[in-house]
A = this chain, B = another copy of it.
Amino acid sequence: MLAPSFPTFLGAENSTDPASVKTPYALLGIPYGPSYEAWELSAAAGGADMVRAAAVAHAYTRFLTHWNFDIGEPQFEDGKPNVTDLGNIVGNVRDPECIVTDAAAVLGPLVKAGVVPVVIGGMDSVPPMLVAPFEGQEDINVLQIDAHIDFRDEINGRRDGFSSPMRRLRDYACVRDLVQVGARAIGSARRQEVEAALKAGNRIVTAWDVYENGAKSIAESLDLSRRWVVSLDCDGMDPSVAPGVGAIEPGGLTFMQTGALLNHLARNNRLAGIVFTEYQPARDVGDATAHVIVRLILNILGLQRNPQAVPVQR
């Protein structure tokens, strides 16, 4: 069900038993999920391992005790990452749905234990797997960073595949605020999806809004009474930052804008989990996108070293 990876992320301890995790964060690769087109099964499958490799290549794994100027202190002064690497869920191409069960078996215990999952997808079908374990456990908000709102109720007969994840999240009563940041250009959404999203109470912050008002003001507008699950589709960022995606779309969030949003939640201990989706290694330029993912995670781990220590209101 879980296959260990080598190297582990940041050289962290690894484990294939979610119940054994003692660190506040746990990293997990989910290679894919239900889909209706073949390329979705494999396009992003190797993403988690590429992210692990990039952490080695850019020397972060080697410099763990060093100062991180993004956070204003050493990354891990004792050299011990506050994350456990659970490896990757083993997929079964003849039964893509079974990955949902497997993900639940891993993420459920983590969420129950107060461990913050850091998931590397996988495509659009992965975010609901991260949200599911919170149902009945804790009300959460969701911050989606994406070029698209992904609010289709079904596409090609499937309700759990491409372009649907945010719609599926609304099937969970635990999801309260749903803030969608970075939308731009034309995607899968039609008038009915935009109206459904607004009716569901979602807040849509286009990329134009981010550039006009600044990422900081958006970050500061987020309700901090509940913790947030972040769903970061890599095409939410600008192609000059994260080229390794299926469909580039100019005008996306810069590295600094993306970091401002994530770091705000981490600093305030309001991060319940994060999932990176649609990182497609074959389309990356160098390993720029993997590099960016590593650094965003490093900042979270360093800005909030012990997230579960603070009580969350239910």
- The residues of A with any CB-CB pair to B shorter than 8 Å are 31-32, 35-39, 41-43, 45, 58-60, 63-70, 72-75, 77, 91, 93-94, 96, 149, 183-191, 193-194, 204, 206-208, 211-212, 216, 239-241, 247-248, 250-251, 254-256, 259, 282, 286, 288, 291-292, 295, 298
Contact = CB atoms under 8 A, between A and B. Distances in A.
B183 A69 contact: yes
Contact of A211 (B32, B187, B256): B256
The 4 closest A-B pairs by CB, nearest first: A38-B41, A69-B183, A39-B42, A38-B42
A189 B77 CA distance: 12
Contact of A67 (B32, B38, B59, B193): B193
B191 A67 contact: yes
Nearest to A206: B69
Contact of A255 (B42, B251, B286): B251
Nearest to A69: B183
Contacts of A183: 69
Residue of A67, A186, A211, A295 with most chain B CB atoms under a 10 A cut-off: A186
Contact of A190 (B67, B70, B184): B67
A19 B242 CA distance: 46
A178 to B, nearest CB: 16
Given A69-B184, A248-B286, 8 more contacts: A35-B93, A38-B91, A39-B42, A66-B189, A66-B190, A67-B194, A68-B186, A69-B183
